[in-house]
Amino acid sequence: GVANCLSDSLLFAIRKFKQNPEPIETRARCEIGRNEQNRLRILAIYVDIHIGVPGASLENLDRVLAQFQDFCTVSSSVSLGIPVNVTVTDSNNQQLYPAI
């Protein structure tokens, strides 16, 4: 689903620069609530991607983080109707994306 596609997209983008961010761990969770008709709906999706190396050790990381979501077909499609919020952290638990 959304989490797998985003992980794949990030991994591909980093490997394109001949680097290895593994291991990668991704977790997704949904916020569920009721719409105007009081029906249950997914209101938002939160995806947390954790890479297994320090972000500072990866060259071109700013470029990768700026564009990896654009190549994820699933999240790009889903986000047209449901907000998809992505966070990327490194092995030092430093938040890399979105930039703080």
Domain hosting residue 44, numbered range: 2-97
Tokens, residue 88? 């990327």
Instruction: Please identify which residue in the block is written with the tokens 């291991």.
Output: 23
- Neighbour order of strands in the sheet with 24-34: 24-34, 40-51, 84-89, 95-97
Please tell me the total count of domains within the chain.
Answer: 1
**Interval 8-63: pLDDT, tens:** 999 999 999 999 999 999 999 999 999 999 999 999 999 999 999 999 999 999 99
Is residue 6 within 8 A of residue 69, CB to CB? The reply is yes
Residue 100 confidence (pLDDT): 74
pLDDT of residue 99: 85
Give tens-digit pLDDT for 76-100. Answer: 999 999 999 999 999 999 999 998 7
Task: Assign residue 9 the CATH number of its domain.
Answer: 3.30.300.20
DSSP result, 15-83: HTTT----SEEEEEEEEEEE-TTS-EEEEEEEEEEEESS-GGGSTTHHHHHHHGGGG-HHHHHHTTTS-
